[in-house]
Every structure is written in C-alpha cells, then in structure tokens.
Amino acid sequence: MSVGDKAKDFVQKAAGHVEEAVGKKTDDAELTAQGQKDKGMSEDRLETERAKEGN
C-alpha cells in the first residue's frame, strides 16, 4: 500500500469519525450510519494491507 493510499484511508477514517459525531449531535441516524460505514471501510482496508505485509 502506498503512502498516498494510507493517507487516503486515514482521511476517510477521520471523516467518518466526524460524520458519526455530527450525526449523533444532530440526531441524524443516516449521517451516523454513514460515518460508521466510512470508518469501517477504511479500517478493513488497513487491516487487509497489514495482513498482506505481514505486520
């Protein structure tokens, strides 16, 4: 995984965290779910790459 891909995943995870927090504060279930989905997707990609690299 390139540094650019890792940065992209980190940004997506951070954005998901923000979306989830804003969704909870505004009582927006759809935004909360989207934030959780974004965080999960980026974490899954990072875990897959860690397993490939053997770290």
| pLDDT per position as a tens digit, 27-55 | 999 999 999 999 999 888 888 888 888 75
Residue 32 has a pLDDT of: 95
Residue 1 has a pLDDT of: 67
Residue 3 has a pLDDT of: 82
Residue 2, sorted as left (phi over 0), alpha (psi -120 to 50) or beta, turns out to be: beta
Residue 31 has a pLDDT of: 95
Residue 28, sorted as left (phi over 0), alpha (psi -120 to 50) or beta, turns out to be: beta
In the numeric block, the tokens 């490939």 are attached to 52
Residue 15 reports pLDDT greater than 70: yes
